[in-house]
């Protein structure tokens, strides 16, 4: 009797091998591949070729090969540094623009009180002392300041020199007991003493000789 491999065409372009089985017991029908077997074999060959694994496809696959898929990243995943959104913060330019806008507002308020009398310990609305005027001007611009000049010196951390003054800065002289608001272009809103009226003064004379420091509210 003869027993040996023979080629079977399954329509996929690949030869498969079955076996003829004729032995001493008599002729016996060769095994027939079902459509499910053929689909499994075809998918196995295609998967093997796709992933580049060595294989000759000489055995039918039991079914389609399954490989774990990679999880898709999402933008709301907090643990992934590549997808985590950075919190929005106020950058230096935005903070500077905000401070400049507040300073312009404070100057506008202070200018409305030019020619109002300077009276010791007055806080408005028709008369102020010097610290009272700058306090209400900056408060209406959105920045809270303490009541007295010494408290302002302690509370406002941004200190500046005469050479780096900007509009809205507060200039302190006489050991911290006198304050004026800088307008720019070497001009200051000031009242020289109690009983005088608020006016625009030039930044010279005692402002320079008695200068202590200047501060920048809102910075």
Q: What is the mean pLDDT of residues 98-126?
A: 94
* Pairwise pLDDT comparison (12 vs 173), residue with the higher score: 173
- Quote the distance between the C-alpha of residue 213 and its chain's center: 35
Assess whether 122 and 21 both reside in one domain: no
Question: How does pLDDT run across 43-70, given as a tens digit for each residue?
Answer: 554 554 444 444 444 444 444 444 445 5
Per-residue tokens: 208: 């320079």
Listed in sequence order, the residues at least 6 apart from 193 whose beta carbon sits closer than 8 Å to its beta carbon are: 118
pLDDT in tens, 151-166: 999 999 999 999 999 9
Q: Looking at the structure, do residues 209 and 116 belong to the same domain, yes or no? A: yes
Other C-beta atoms closer than 10 Å to the C-beta of 84 total 12
The domain that contains 137 carries what CATH number?
3.90.1720.10
The alpha carbon of 86 is separated from its chain's Cα centroid by a whole number of angstroms, namely: 4
pTM for the whole structure: 0.58
Residue 71 has pLDDT above 70, yes or no: no
Structurally, the chain folds into a number of domains equal to 2
What are the distances in angstroms from CA 99 to CA 34, 105, 148, 165?
A: 81, 10, 22, 14
Contact, 166 vs 103, CB < 8 A?
A: yes
Claim to verify: residue 36 and residue 101 sit in the same structural domain: no
Identify whether 70 is part of a domain. no
Do 43 and 99 belong together in one domain?
no
Tokens coding 67: 């490989």
- Would you state the pLDDT for residue 98? 78
pLDDT at 62: 45
- Which runs of consecutive H residues, i.e. helices, occur in 31-79? 35-51
When pLDDT is cut at 50, 70 and 90, the band that residue 207 belongs to is very high
Q: For the chain, how are helix, strand and coil distributed in percent, rounded to 5? A: 30, 20, 50
Residue 131 and residue 201: Cα distance in Å, rounded?
16
- Per-residue pLDDT, averaged over 197-203, amounts to 97
Which structural domain, as residue segments, surrounds residue 28? 5-51
Q: Do 131 and 33 share a domain, yes or no?
A: no
Rounded to the nearest angstrom, the gap between the alpha carbon of residue 200 and the centroid of all alpha carbons in its chain is 43
**Is residue 107, in this structure, part of any structural domain at all?**
yes
């Amino acid at each position: 009797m003869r027993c040996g491999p023979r080629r079977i065409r399954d329509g996929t372009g690949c030869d498969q091998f079955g076996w003829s089985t004729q032995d001493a017991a008599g002729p016996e029908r060769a095994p027939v591949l079902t459509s499910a077997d053929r689909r499994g074999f075809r998918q196995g060959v295609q998967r093997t070729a796709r992933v580049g694994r060595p294989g000759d496809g000489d055995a039918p696959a039991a079914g389609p090969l399954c490989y774990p898929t990679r999880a898709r990243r999402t933008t709301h995943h907090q643990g992934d540094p590549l997808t985590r959104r950075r919190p929005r913060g106020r950058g230096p330019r935005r903070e500077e623009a905000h401070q400049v806008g507040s300073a312009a507002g404070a100057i506008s308020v202070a200018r409305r009180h030019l020619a109002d009398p300077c009276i010791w310990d007055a806080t408005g609305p028709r008369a102020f002392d010097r610290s009272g005027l700058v306090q209400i001007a900056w408060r209406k611009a959105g920045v809270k300041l303490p009541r007295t000049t010494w408290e302002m010196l302690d509370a406002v951390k941004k200190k500046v020199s005469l050479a780096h003054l900007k509009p809205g800065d507060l200039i302190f002289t006489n050991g911290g007991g006198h304050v004026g608001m800088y307008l720019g272009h070497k001009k200051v809103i000031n009242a020289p003493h109690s009983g005088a009226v608020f006016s625009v003064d030039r930044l010279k004379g005692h402002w320079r000789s008695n200068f202590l420091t200047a501060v920048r509210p809102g910075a």
